[in-house]
Amino acid sequence: MPNVIFTSPEIASVGILEDQCKREGMDFSVSKVSFSSNGKALTMNESEGFIKLIKDNVTQKIVGGSIIGPDASSLISSLTLAIANELTEQQITQTVFAHPTTGEVIHEAAFGLSIGALHQA
């Protein structure tokens, strides 16, 4: 169930959080990408914040995500779909994201779980 806090910047999360993964002894990876590397956020003058994706290394599926920054309340829906449909980071990286959009931070964070984020500042 996604949750959103309508502050400035917005805060949203869905799925399992990093602390919970640690408590449960999961084998997991985390990718964190700053909005300061996102062209749309820069043009909006809202480069504060980040996205964090969590991947279960056993199943390779995305199990959690947090977003602090512009459009977080809208972007969390994409992460909710990814988790509900048990997508892997590879499936996300193979998805075409419109450019320039804040949604590209999801693409970057997915790359961060494998080859590394391409545009991380």
Residues taking part in catalysis: 99
Backbone angles phi, psi at 40, to 5 degrees: -65, -45
* CB count in 10 Å sphere of residue 90: 12
Closest by Cα among 65, 70, 74 to 47: 70
